[in-house]
Chains A and B, each alone.
Chain A
Amino acid sequence: MPVRRLARLRAAAPWIAATLMVAGIVHIATILIMPEVSPRDAFARIEGLGPRATVIPIAPARPGRELSTFNDPAAAIAVCRYDLADGPLRLGAQIAGDEFVSFSFHTRDNVAFYAMTDRAALRGAIDVVVYTQDQLDSAEAQDPEDSAPADRRLVSPTREGFVYMRSLASTPGQAEEAAARLRAVLCGVEGG
């Protein structure tokens, strides 16, 4: 009896191995493909909020009213989505005071390729232009020979992407002030 059982097991072994191999391939494939196919990734959620190349404030995170999970209710949030086919994107902000404000630049698939806080402001201002590599090349070709550009120039690894802005209200009473700081940010197509 045990001999027969062993023989049956031996016959089934290649089938079990094949099943596990299929399972492994499907597992790896679904994990790898998820970022490409997720209908509810950050970019898709932001896309649903409004047009591109403009600052869109996101209502403060409150129970039942959140764009995603794990939000800081103390931070005002705004986004500016871009498609560089429209032209380069210019982002400008005046920084006053010592409250935390940050700008992070994300690709279509939510990789931050650059981030800065208010501490990176030069003479009280943040001035950034996001280009494709080609746009940057032609912008540089038009630069006057002897002067350094006044703005910070970034190359977006993807044509589409978004700027995510956080502005911290250090007490609940300052929530409106924190949101106003982001509403005052300029974000739009360069020369548009």
Chain B
Amino acid sequence: MRNPTHPERGAVPAEAALMMRVLAGDRPALVEIHDRYYPAVYRFVSLQVADPDLAADLTSDVFVRFLEAITGPNPPQSTLKGWLFGVAKNVVRGHYRQVYRHPEVGLEEDVDSDDAELDAAVTRDEERAALADAMSALTEEQQHVLALRYGAGLPILEAAETMGKTAGAVKQLQARAVAALARQMTQRTASV
């Protein structure tokens, strides 16, 4: 589509052409989409899901869903990046919904090691898990903005475009989300 009256909108057709190539059965186009967006979507997911293997599986789900959607009767109409993060948000939400319905049987892992490096890695993982856990108590939008900004690492303008908001709105939402998360972390630390 071409509309010279909106010159500020530029790069989207390359994505659309990629999607149409996938529709036409072009494997390299599919690989290009996957490799271009997988890292950002993974970081987006991994901020909310502490287990790296699970984050990888969920990220992979996002791309299979993309393939399902693009070959279905109603292919994505939004920007590809926005669509992928939207689906990633829902995949993570679906995962937690499933977890709440069928709580994981936790086994106490008694890590007994003198290895300082391992200890540090465990501590980092615990911090990640605590953050992901605390994030799950925020509103959907707050989680989304934090995952976009700190997970996927999107600049403010791209996050604003992805969320359909102004840059100012995203900054405000981000600040509130960070403050809410800090309160959650403080509460959890106090309760422990």
A binds B: no
List residues of B whose CB falls within 8 A of some A CB: none
